[in-house]
Amino acid sequence: MKTALVHSKEWSRFDYGPEHPLRMERLGLTWRLMEAYGLTTLPTAKVLAPEPAALDAIARFHAREYIEILKEASAGRGGLQAARYGLGPGDNPIFPGLWEAARLVAGGSICAASLVAQGQFDRVFHFAGGLHHAMPNRASGFCYVNDAVLAIMKLRERGWRVAYVDIDAHHGDGVQFAFYDDPNVLTISTHERGDRLFPGTGFVAEVGEGDGRGFSVNLPLQPYTDDEVYQPAFEAVVPPLLRAFNPDVMVLQLGIDSHRTDPLTHLALTVQGFTNVVRQLLEMAPRVVALGGGGYDLPNVARAWTSAWAAMNDVALAETLPNECRADLAGLGLKVQSLSDPPMELPEDTRRWAEEYARRQVAAIRKDIFPLHGL
Whose Cβ is closer to Zn ion: residue 82's or residue 169's? 169
Cα 12 from Cα 171, distance rounded (Å): 27
Indicate which single residue of 255, 273, 292, 299 sits in contact with Zn ion (rule: CB under 5 A). 255
Piece of the chain touching Zn ion by CB under 5 A; list 15-23, 79-87, 163-171, 308-316: 163-171
Whose Cβ is closer to Zn ion: residue 57's or residue 139's? 139
Ranges within 196-215 binding Zn ion (CB under 5 A): none
List the strands of the sheet with 185-192, edge to edge: 45-48, 3-6, 123-126, 288-291, 249-253, 162-166, 185-192, 216-221
Please state the closest distance from residue 22 (CB atom) to Zn ion, in A.
10
Cα 146 from Cα 11, distance rounded (Å): 17
Q: Does 294 bind Zn ion (CB under 5 A)?
A: yes
Piece of the chain touching Zn ion by CB under 5 A; list 27-35, 165-173, 229-237, 245-253: 165-173
Cα 192 from Cα 175, distance rounded (Å): 17
Please state the closest distance from residue 300 (CB atom) to Zn ion, in A.
12
Task: Give Dmax over CA atoms of the chain in angstroms.
Answer: 54
SS3 258: coil
Whose Cβ is closer to Zn ion: residue 3's or residue 265's? 265
Q: Is 133 known to be catalytic?
A: yes
Piece of the chain touching Zn ion by CB under 5 A; list 62-70, 105-113, 179-187, 255-263: 255-263
Whose Cβ is closer to Zn ion: residue 174's or residue 322's? 174
Cα 374 from Cα 244, distance rounded (Å): 8
DSSP string, 321-363: PPHHHHHHHHHTT--S-BSSPPP-PPPHHHHHHHHHHHHHHHH
Q: Report the candidate in 147, 145, 211 with the shortest Cα–Cα distance to residue 180.
A: 211
Whose Cβ is closer to Zn ion: residue 78's or residue 273's? 273
* Overall size of the chain counted in residues: 375
Q: Does 257 bind Zn ion (CB under 5 A)?
A: yes
Piece of the chain touching Zn ion by CB under 5 A; list 33-41, 169-177, 226-234, 353-361: 169-177
Residues touching Zn ion, count (CB under 5 A)? 6
H-only helix segments in the chain: 25-36, 55-58, 64-74, 98-117, 147-156, 173-178, 227-245, 271-282, 298-312, 323-331, 348-368
Q: Does 295 bind Zn ion (CB under 5 A)?
A: no
Indicate which single residue of 103, 138, 154, 170 sits in contact with Zn ion (rule: CB under 5 A). 170
Indicate which single residue of 168, 206, 226, 227 sits in contact with Zn ion (rule: CB under 5 A). 168
SS3 253: strand
Chain residues that interact with Zn ion, rule: CB under 5 A: 168-170, 255, 257, 294
Catalytic residue annotation:
133
